[in-house]
Amino acid sequence: RRPFALCLFSGVTVKTLVSPTETSNSYVEMVPVKPRTLRAFTLCMRVASKLKGEREVNLFAYRTRDSDELKVRRELDGRYRLFASVFLFEVPQLGALETHLCITCDSKSGAATLFMDGSKSMTKIYKKGHALHSGGRVVIRQDPDSNLGKFDAKQSFVGEMHDVNMWDSVLSASTIRDMYSGDRGPRGNVFRLIHLKPNVPVDDTVEHEQRFVDGIVDGRPN
């Protein structure tokens, strides 16, 4: 069976991506509102996984043609990797109960922080002046080391994920805590359009209120 992308978007709210099994041939691709170079960002998602401490787990990746610009991955030892280099955060493990996970980074200072359920990690300094360049692709649940479609099932995400948003600024700690507590907060202004492509594999399901069609549906989120 050929690889393909399960992409999500339209004028209704997608509730939850459910990925119950390992897979090497399916992924979720998010499409930005418009290509842009990010010199600051906040990335947030709500995620639950039963793969507690068993193996590497890829949550989110942004890759340009030649390199990984941003990668959110849980390593074998439970630490979280950001970017392509060894830049790790030691925070509690994911589990079957939903976790609100956020990452912030500011290019000017190089400061990067990880939040779990509203609690802030120690700030680390990455590369001052580092930016996420435009023209790449965002992939959820897989690690796109090269061309899309070549994945390692033993690194795929298994669990549930929703409320994935990205902003082109560093949100305040108080805003992130409010979102964790249930406040809708500001809408992500980097990712808004998602695509649904046909032939969804049986190991990926999406609980939502949108009709499925063969092809790409266009629309705007609520």
Domain ranges of the chain: 24-189
Structure tokens at 138: 């965002």
Dist CA 170 CA 176 (whole Å): 10
The secondary structure of residue 141, as a DSSP letter, is S
Of residues 65 and 2, the one with the higher pLDDT is 65
173: left (phi over 0), alpha (psi -120 to 50) or beta: alpha
Cβ atoms of 57 and 157 closer than 8 Å: yes
Tens of pLDDT, residues 128-167: 888 888 887 788 877 776 555 567 788 888 888 888 888 9
Q: What is each CA distance from 143 to 12, 26, 109, 127, 173, in whole angstroms?
A: 28, 11, 28, 22, 29
Question: What integer pLDDT is reported at residue 208 of this predicted model?
Answer: 38
Greatest mean pLDDT range, 28-32, 101-105, 153-157: 101-105
Sign of the alpha-carbon dihedral angle for 42, 48, 52, 58: negative
Pick the CATH number of 24-189 from 2.40.40.20, 3.40.50.300, 3.30.710.10, 2.60.120.200: 2.60.120.200
Q: What is the mean pLDDT of residues 7-33?
A: 65
Sign of the alpha-carbon dihedral angle for 206, 46, 114, 221: positive
Q: What is the mean pLDDT of residues 86-90?
A: 77
pTM for this entry: 0.78
69 phi and psi, to 5 degrees? Answer: -85, -40
Of residues 26 and 168, the one with the higher pLDDT is 168
Tens of pLDDT, residues 166-213: 899 999 999 999 999 988 788 888 874 343 332 344 344 444 333 222
What spatial distance separates the first Cα and last Cα of the chain, rounded to whole Å? 34
